[in-house]
Amino acid sequence: MIGHDIRNPLQAITSELYIARQSIAETPIKELAGLALESINLIEEQTDYISKIVSDLQDYARPLKPELEEVDITKVIASIFQTVKVPDSIKLVIDLKGFPKIETDLTLIRRALSNLVINAIQAMPEGGTLTINAEKTGRQAIFKIEDTGKGIPEEVKNRLFTPLVTTKAKGQGLGLSVVKRIVEALGGTIMFESKSGKGTKFTIRLPLKE
């Protein structure tokens, strides 16, 4: 499968970058080291970006088989922000109201929430507020990801979850179609509300067992 063909060389690049970073740290020529490290950081960022695209393509291409386990959503959200950088201009508000552990697929829920978070950040190039809410009501888990960004362009509203639909110069248009596939594989639903210039809110509802 193509995913593997791309992933193996990516893995090799990542390991080599690690070695390069070590060697540079030991060089006595500090000015050169600074420049080289800067390049390495950029290469790493771009490799992560390729890696993300490959994951989305794979998630889109393969059947999703959720593997349920006890998941601590607080940890999932914390781990998302270890990889996704929030610019200083964006205020992050996380409200989990003592959200309990739930039975779900850790990798899938992480991917879905992180795709929504990335879109929200990208919708606020001038800054704003990103609010993440999780609550459990009865037998449902409800997640809300809200931004105060530009709003969803009218022309994509009715095709938002279709693959390859993007309004971004460097967009892939896979993020939301993957989110929808994941949510449906977990038996849930996703909806959005959006106002031009005001912001967007995505709501995911997942059914829970007793």
Ligand X SMILES: Nc1ncnc2c1ncn2[C@@H]1O[C@H](COP(=O)(O)OP(=O)(O)O)[C@@H](O)[C@H]1O
Q: Applying CB under 6 A, does 57 fall inside the site for ligand X?
A: no
Nearer to ligand X, 175 or 188 (CB): 175
CA–CA dist 54, 120 (Å, integer): 21
- Among 156, 164, 140, which residue's Cα sits nearest to residue 192? 156
Stretch that binds ligand X, among 9-17, 65-73, 95-103, 150-158 (CB under 6 A): 150-158
Q: Applying CB under 6 A, does 200 fall inside the site for ligand X?
A: yes
Q: Applying CB under 5 A, does 200 fall inside the site for Mg ion?
A: no
Number of residues engaging ligand X in binding (CB under 6 A): 23
CA–CA dist 103, 139 (Å, integer): 11
Q: Which residue's CB comes closest to Mg ion?
A: 175
148 binds, among ligand X, Mg ion, none (CB under 5 to 8 A by kind): none
CA–CA dist 34, 168 (Å, integer): 33
Stretch that binds ligand X, among 34-42, 102-110, 131-139, 161-169 (CB under 6 A): 161-169
Nearer to ligand X, 20 or 58 (CB): 58
Q: Which two tokens stand for residue 16?
A: 């080599």
Q: Applying CB under 6 A, does 102 fall inside the site for ligand X?
A: no
Contacting ligand X (CB under 6 A), which of 166, 189, 203, 208?
166
Question: How many Å is the Cα radius of gyration of the chain?
Answer: 19
CA–CA dist 26, 35 (Å, integer): 14
Structural contact between residues 49 and 79, judged by C-beta atoms closer than 8 angstroms: no
Helix (H, G, I), strand (E, B) or coil at 186: coil
CB of 165 to Mg ion, least distance (A): 10
Q: Applying CB under 6 A, does 156 fall inside the site for ligand X?
A: yes
CA–CA dist 47, 31 (Å, integer): 25
Q: Applying CB under 6 A, does 114 fall inside the site for ligand X?
A: no
The residues that bridge with 205 in the sheet, in sequence order, are: 142, 189
Q: How are beta strands 128-137 and 189-195 bridged, if at all? A: unpaired
CB of 163 to ligand X, least distance (A): 8
Q: Which residues make up the interface to ligand X (CB under 6 A)?
A: 119-120, 123, 147, 149-153, 156, 160, 165-168, 171-177, 200
